[in-house]
């Protein structure tokens, strides 16, 4: 690994944001399922492990608030990073995660490639599924956060809205959480870990860098752009230290195991969901 | 000039006099029992205290025990006596004339109603909300679960400070996906449909997308491996 040429893809702040959402999401997944499946033996056992139903609820609420605060910090970070004077160019630049018309074209090209009707599309820094992964958080966290806050303070909610809104809110919260878990544990994990070329783990979100050869294969337009702009040399970084790799492999695989375990639980107790 | 000064002084004294009267006389109070609308009384008293006066919930000129909206609607409408037996939502004893009632448990008939969050998570028993025998129908005028006093008599036992609005939370929630829910709780029904479509749409597209992608990559790997020895 040390001989490989690597280029930077995520800076430390990006990786810390990912780490934060990863940890909080898994805690919310576990405590949320404890609450949802409390009537089952599994739910009761795990709830008792966390100190009972009240404790699980407290953890779920506090971590939820932390998640919302993290999201707010991320929004501030984005607002600080945006170049307001050249907003339009900045928003639709290939380095931006805002969807462009090009992404829709890429979806079509890729579907054609799936059917063997054409070559695969050439991607730049962000592919359309990576943009979807990122932007899904922008609808998921506000929806889960707002409904979560309404459910957290039901009496206050009922001052402004009729009480039956809480029934609808609970349904939305539960369904969105379920969608988020299914998406992360099935799609995100498969793309990040189990795909050929990524197995055993896509390290770039932890290491921050990615092999140049891999990028040439998967995102050729990004390399071409970096070469044209003369930024390729400054994007090159050394490989992560061995101890660091060991740490993030253990951490990543622990998170993967927790996620797959929760997915299995969801499948086993699907009638209670 | 002099007349203007007199006018100013008289206005000043009148204002001071008015202020003095306001301080000396008892505070201006609205009529205590006479209100223009019952909504005003609700806002002034019931909403702030959470308690209702008896007169507020008495049936007034109506018969208290049987008043079944819609009972006259079917092709063969119920007589008041038949409605009393068949439509139990308005009875003082909702289980009247149920055979072997004394030896039955609530869940023997109301199994679905025992699956709500209050029962399964909060460990509440039916009687903690519905009261002891005879259990009045929730729409009966004197039931603690009548919507006019539910929040004060039942919800506030655990949810301190609950309001009438809060008490509209549907404890025994209908199945959101059931067609009947479209009539009884339409917002829940449509929210369920929206979220189901979102889940099925998102997962449907991405599961198919990822499955084809992974298989195509694996196919390329195997075909390349097979080709390599020939090329060499």
Q: Report the DSSP beta bridge partners of residue A209.
A: A8
CB contact residues (below 8 A), chain A span 224-253, against chain B: none
- In the numeric block, which tokens belong to residue A89? 């160019």
Listed by start position, the domains of chain A span: 6-272
Whether the per-residue pLDDT at A243 is higher than 50: the answer is yes
* Exposure b/e, B182-195, CB count within 10 A at least 16 = b: eeebeebbebbeeb
A183 touches chain B (CB under 8 A): yes
B187 touches chain A (CB under 8 A): yes
Whether the per-residue pLDDT at A147 is higher than 90: the answer is yes
Best probe of the B interface among A47, A108, A175, by most B CBs < 10 A, is A175
Chain A hits for B161, CB-CB cut-off 8 Å, are: 155
Q: Specify whether the CB–CB gap between A211 and A8 falls below 8 A.
A: no
| Cα A233 from Cα B159, distance rounded (Å) | 63
A76 touches chain B (CB under 8 A): no
- In the numeric block, which tokens belong to residue A199? 């197995």
Q: What Å distances lie between residue A134 and A139, A140, A221, B181, CA to CA?
A: 10, 10, 20, 35
Chain B hits for A38, CB-CB cut-off 8 Å, are: 120-121
Q: For A224, how many CA atoms within 13 A lie in the half-sphere containing its CB? A: 9
Best probe of the A interface among B162, B210, B217, by most A CBs < 10 A, is B210
Whether the per-residue pLDDT at A1 is higher than 90: the answer is no
Residue with tokens 């090159």: A236
Residue of A nearest to B219 (CA): A196
User: What global pTM score does this model have?
Assistant: 0.79
Q: How many CB pairs under 8 A join A and B?
A: 95
CB contact residues (below 8 A), chain A span 21-40, against chain B: 35, 38-39
| Cα B168 from Cα B150, distance rounded (Å) | 9
Task: Measure in Å the smallest separation between the Cα of A145 and chain B Cα atoms.
Answer: 16
Three-state DSSP at A245 gives helix
> Which CATH class for the A6-272 domain?
mainly alpha
pLDDT in tens, A200-223: 888 888 988 988 888 888 888 999
Helix axes A165-182, A242-268, angle to 10 degrees: 130
User: Per the CB < 8 Å rule, is A38 touching B170?
Assistant: no
| Edge-first strand listing for the sheet containing A236-237 | A209-211, A6-8, A236-237
Helices (H) and strands (E) in chain B, counts: 11, 0
Q: What pLDDT tens digit does each residue of chain B (232 aa) get? A: 788 888 889 999 999 999 988 888 776 555 455 555 555 555 555 555 655 554 445 444 444 444 445 544 555 566 666 666 666 666 677 887 778 888 888 888 888 888 888 888 888 888 888 888 888 888 777 788 888 888 888 888 888 888 888 888 999 988 898 888 888 888 999 999 999 999 999 999 999 999 998 888 888 888 876 665 544 4
B100 backbone φψ class: left, alpha, beta (φ>0; ψ -120 to 50): left
User: Per the CB < 8 Å rule, is B159 touching A155?
Assistant: yes
The total number of residues written for chain A in this structure: 273
pLDDT in tens, A83-94: 888 888 888 888
pLDDT at B63: 45
| Cα A184 from Cα A29, distance rounded (Å) | 11
B192 touches chain A (CB under 8 A): yes
pLDDT in tens, A24-62: 999 999 999 999 998 899 999 999 999 988 899 999 999
ipTM of predicted assembly, 2 dp: 0.89
- Nearest CB among A155, A164, A194 relative to B168 is that of A164
| Cα B155 from Cα B148, distance rounded (Å) | 12
Task: Measure in Å the smallest separation between the Cα of A84 and chain B Cα atoms.
Answer: 33
Task: Measure in Å the smallest separation between the Cα of A208 and chain B Cα atoms.
Answer: 24
Cα angle, residue A35 at apex, residues A34 and A40 outer, rounded to 5°: 65
- In the numeric block, which tokens belong to residue B154? 């039942």
| Cα B167 from Cα B151, distance rounded (Å) | 5
pLDDT in tens, A161-173: 888 999 999 999 9
Chain A hits for B159, CB-CB cut-off 8 Å, are: 154-155
Helix axes A101-114, A128-152, angle to 10 degrees: 110
Contacts 24+ apart (CB under 8 A), A145-148: A145/A64, A145/A67, A145/A68, A145/A71, A147/A172, A147/A173, A147/A176, A148/A61, A148/A64, A148/A68, A148/A173
Residue with tokens 């007199």: B6
Q: What Å distances lie between residue A15 and A8, A18, A248, A272, CA to CA?
A: 12, 5, 12, 35
Mean pLDDT check: name the lowest of A179-188, A259-268, B11-20, B38-47.
B38-47
pLDDT at B11: 93
Q: Specify whether the CB–CB gap between A57 and A47 falls below 8 A.
A: no
User: Per the CB < 8 Å rule, is A155 touching B162?
Assistant: yes
pLDDT at B65: 43
Q: Specify whether the CB–CB gap between A210 and A9 falls below 8 A.
A: yes
Q: Specify whether the CB–CB gap between A237 and A2 falls below 8 A.
A: no
Best probe of the A interface among B121, B206, B220, by most A CBs < 10 A, is B206
Residue with tokens 């695989």: A253
Task: Measure in Å the smallest separation between the Cα of A172 and chain B Cα atoms.
Answer: 7
Chain B hits for A168, CB-CB cut-off 8 Å, are: 187-188, 191
User: Per the CB < 8 Å rule, is B120 touching A158?
Assistant: no
Chain A hits for B167, CB-CB cut-off 8 Å, are: 163
User: Per the CB < 8 Å rule, is A164 touching B176?
Assistant: no
Q: What Å distances lie between residue A66 and A177, A255, B142, CA to CA?
A: 16, 19, 46
pLDDT at A173: 95
CB contact residues (below 8 A), chain B span 153-182, against chain A: 159, 161-163, 165-170, 173, 176
Whether the per-residue pLDDT at A21 is higher than 90: the answer is yes
Contacts 24+ apart (CB under 8 A), A213-219: A213/A4, A213/A5, A215/A7, A215/A9, A218/A123, A218/A127, A219/A123, A219/A124, A219/A125, A219/A127
């Amino acid at each position: 690994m040390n001989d490989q040429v690597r280029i930077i893809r995520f800076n430390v702040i990006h990786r810390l944001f990912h780490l934060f959402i990863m940890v909080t999401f898994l805690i919310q997944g576990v405590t949320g399922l404890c609450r949802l499946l409390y009537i089952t033996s599994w739910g009761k056992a795990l709830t008792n492990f966390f100190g009972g139903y009240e404790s699980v609820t407290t953890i779920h609420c506090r971590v939820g608030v932390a998640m919302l605060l993290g999201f707010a910090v991320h929004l501030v970070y984005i607002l600080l990073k945006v170049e307001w004077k050249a907003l339009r160019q900045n928003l639709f630049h290939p380095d931006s995660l805002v969807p462009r018309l090009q992404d829709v074209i890429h979806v079509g090209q890729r579907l054609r490639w799936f059917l063997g009707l054409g070559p695969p599309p050439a991607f730049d820094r962000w592919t359309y599924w990576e943009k979807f992964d990122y932007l899904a958080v922008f609808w998921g966290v506000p929806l889960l956060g707002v409904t979560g806050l309404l459910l957290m303070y039901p009496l206050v909610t009922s001052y402004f809205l009729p009480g039956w809104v809480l029934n609808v809110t609970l349904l939305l919260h539960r369904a969105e959480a379920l969608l988020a878990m299914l998406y992360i544990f099935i799609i995100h994990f498969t793309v990040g870990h189990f795909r050929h070329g990524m197995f055993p783990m896509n390290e770039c979100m932890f290491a921050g860098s990615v092999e140049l050869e891999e990028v040439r294969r998967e995102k050729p337009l990004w390399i071409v752009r970096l070469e044209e702009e003369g930024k390729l040399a400054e994007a090159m970084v050394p490989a992560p230290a061995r101890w660091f790799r060991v740490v993030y492999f253990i951490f990543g695989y622990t998170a993967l195991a927790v996620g797959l375990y929760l997915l299995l639980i969801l499948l086993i107790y699907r009638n209670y969901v | 000039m002099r007349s203007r000064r007199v006018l100013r002084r008289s206005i000043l004294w009148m204002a001071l006099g008015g202020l003095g009267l306001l301080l000396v006389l008892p505070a201006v109070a609205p009529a205590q029992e006479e209100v223009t609308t019952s909504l005003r009384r609700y806002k002034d008293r019931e909403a702030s205290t959470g308690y209702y006066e008896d007169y507020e919930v008495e049936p007034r000129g109506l018969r208290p025990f049987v008043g079944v909206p819609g009972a006259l609607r079917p092709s063969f409408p119920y007589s008041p006596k038949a409605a009393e037996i068949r439509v139990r939502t308005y009875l003082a004893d909702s289980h009247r004339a149920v055979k072997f009632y004394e030896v039955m448990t609530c869940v023997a008939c109301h199994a679905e109603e025992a699956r709500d969050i209050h029962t399964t998570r909060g460990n509440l028993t039916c009687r903690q909300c519905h009261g002891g025998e005879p259990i009045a129908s929730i729409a009966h005028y004197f039931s603690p679960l009548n919507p006019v006093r539910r929040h004060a008599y039942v919800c506030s036992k655990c949810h301190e400070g609950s309001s009438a609005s809060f008490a509209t939370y549907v404890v025994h929630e209908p199945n959101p996906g059931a067609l009947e829910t479209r009539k009884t709780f339409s917002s829940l029904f449509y929210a369920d449909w929206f979220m189901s479509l979102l889940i099925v749409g998102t997962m449907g597209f991405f599961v198919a997308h990822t499955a084809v992608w992974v298989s195509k990559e694996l196919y390329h790997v195997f075909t390349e491996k097979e080709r390599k020895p020939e090329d060499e």
